[in-house]
Chain A
């Protein structure tokens, strides 16, 4: 614009310059005083989490193998064009999507159902809740090993023993259905977490509303679908968000259950195999990881929208 500036506020008695400057200096000082407590955490996070990504970006444009040692050679987008045609990478990408989406959805649905069951008075309520949260606390490596050897295993697994006792043949679950075996363990671990979040949601429901609905003659299912479920929405969103963040990065379960393979290598495991897991092709592996970042940013944009919904209205309060 070329017109003269319009005064932002109508102030009929303009303050003297010195006082104005004084106020601005004061505001600046106040802004810094507010920022100061934030800085250590912010700087730490930037240095530890962002700097490595800049390195990754640079590596991804080079041809660089560590074993046998080779010089780093700039090759532009060569690694990325390779990647588009690499069927192993595409398969890993698809495994990642399936593993994350199915595990998150199943554990949210099961977790909600269990939370509803737990949110009723019955004998031993607290004890059953303790039983139910236990899988979430189990070390992922341990969870993978226990399911692999002692539950799903074809030699000494309890499930196969049960199948045989009932007259069915035994099934090599982990080698025949690697993806679904891993998803089973993930759902076992994450259902309790979702249940905790939903339980928190159910317990924050005001009793008076439920009471009023019941007095008005609403049915139990009517109350659930028309009052409880809308109330639970932000909790459901939080569960999906946190679950996705952690489940998209699954590594431990794959490592101890299958050690990777056509149906169970997700993108994180793929990057690992191609680099420090034995491939040692750092340039190429960096390109894969940058693609993971891009995909994550797409998911994150969606996720952050959910978050900003959660934070809405807080300023007004």
Chain B
């Protein structure tokens, strides 16, 4: 919007800056504390201090608790990457069947997918725990991969369907006339056009899976534990831990933070299309 009054416009810009810095402050403070000695972190807030990388060395060596960072990171990477790939493999054809060549009751099917997100996961955790124990997959990566796929699939189907709606029908019909198979249509016509949407969808799946704590801590407290569990393992009941916890939190947050910053514009577009179309 263009503003007629330059002073008003300037002040509003200033206000936006102020709120932006305010919202960012807790993250800034966390990163800052990660470079402190415990003595500097566990006192009145200090903006200036002798920065040190020792806390990062501490968390890398993993002298506290049973779970090492390397282990947690590997488990998280497995669960996040494999589940996101599975989500896309399942959601792309499903979204096709709900948009481009829709099944008879596509609206009901779409509602069913979304309705599963309304059912609180806590209501399913007991049977999931029991079933996982029976199948002997408690404390494995497999159980998280399966559940993260189920957790993100409805959102992915919903968003991808909206993106597929955007693909011009003439292009698909032309491909069909040329005798392209379903897979051919998807890979050569639909996906290239819907690529930004696909990226936005995948990114949201990655964020939700990477940050997931509840299922991981219930089902994998011993083995196959992920990064969020590792972060909480840095809370100590003996001695000071703030600086160390800050360093751990920074490392745990960084991958998603960078991905989100890079893809923010795409995400805005993705959400808009997911919303309306």
Report A's interface with B, CB cutoff 8 A: 31, 34-38, 40-42, 44-45, 48-53, 55-56, 59, 114, 117-124, 127-143, 145-147, 149-151, 155-156, 158, 161, 188, 191-192, 196-197, 199-201, 203-204, 210, 220, 234-235, 238, 245, 248-249, 251-252, 255-256, 267-268, 271-272, 275-276, 282, 285-286, 289-290, 292-293, 296-297, 299-300, 303-304, 307-308, 310-311, 314
Contact = CB atoms under 8 A, between A and B. Distances in A.
A188 B23 CA distance: 7
A117 B15 contact: yes
Contacts, number: 298
B232 interface: yes
A290 B245 CA distance: 37
B198 to A, nearest CB: 15
B67 interface: no
A150 B246 contact: yes
A314 B99 CA distance: 10
B116 A49 contact: yes
Nearest to A191: B23
A201 B127 contact: no
A293 B123 contact: yes
Contact of B120 (A133, A275, A296): A296
B124 A52 contact: yes
A268 B122 contact: yes
Nearest to A228: B1
Nearest to B129: A276
Contacts of B211: 139-141
A251 B257 contact: no
Which secondary structure dominates chain B's binding surface?
A: helix
Listed residue (A59, A145, A192) with the most chain B CB atoms within 10 angstroms of its CB: A145
B179 interface: no
A234 B44 CA distance: 46
A134 B276 contact: no
Nearest to A193: B271
Interface of B: 1-3, 9-10, 12-13, 15-17, 19-21, 23-27, 29-30, 33, 41-45, 90-91, 93-94, 96-98, 101-104, 107, 109-131, 146-147, 149-150, 153-154, 157, 165, 182, 207, 210-211, 213-214, 217-218, 227-228, 231-232, 235, 242, 245-246, 249, 252-253, 256-257, 259-261, 264, 267-269, 271-272, 274-277
B97 A146 contact: no
Contact of A304 (B33, B102, B115, B123): B115
Contact of B126 (A119, A251, A282, A293): A282
26 contacts: A38-B97, A40-B90, A45-B116, A52-B124, A56-B124, A118-B16, A119-B1, A120-B13, A122-B9, A128-B16, A131-B21, A139-B227, A141-B228, A145-B232, A150-B26, A156-B45, A161-B45, A197-B275, A201-B275, A204-B272, A220-B1, A275-B125, A300-B115, A304-B115, A307-B111, A311-B110
A252 B17 CA distance: 30
Which secondary structure dominates chain A's binding surface?
A: helix
Contacts of B146: 48
B154 A296 contact: no
Given A145-B232, A293-B120, A140 B44 contact: no
B21 A156 contact: no
Contacts of A238: 274-275
Q: Which 6 A-B pairs have the closest CB atoms?
A: A200-B272, A122-B13, A37-B93, A289-B123, A55-B127, A300-B118
A146 B26 contact: yes
Given A34-B97, A38-B94, A139 B228 contact: yes
Contacts of B103: 31, 34-35, 38
A44 B16 contact: no
A134 B275 contact: no
B181 to A, nearest CB: 11
B108 to A, nearest CB: 10
A170 B124 CA distance: 42
B150 A48 contact: yes
Nearest to A271: B122
A137 B256 contact: yes
Contacts of B43: 156
A103 B196 CA distance: 30
Nearest to B29: A150
Contacts of A127: 20
A245 B42 CA distance: 37
A134 B131 contact: no
Contact of B276 (A135, A136, A151, A234): A234
Given A31-B103, A121-B2, A310-B276, A249 B121 contact: yes
B94 A40 contact: yes
Nearest to B17: A128
Listed residue (A147, A161, A252, A285) with the most chain B CB atoms within 10 angstroms of its CB: A252
Contacts of B102: 34
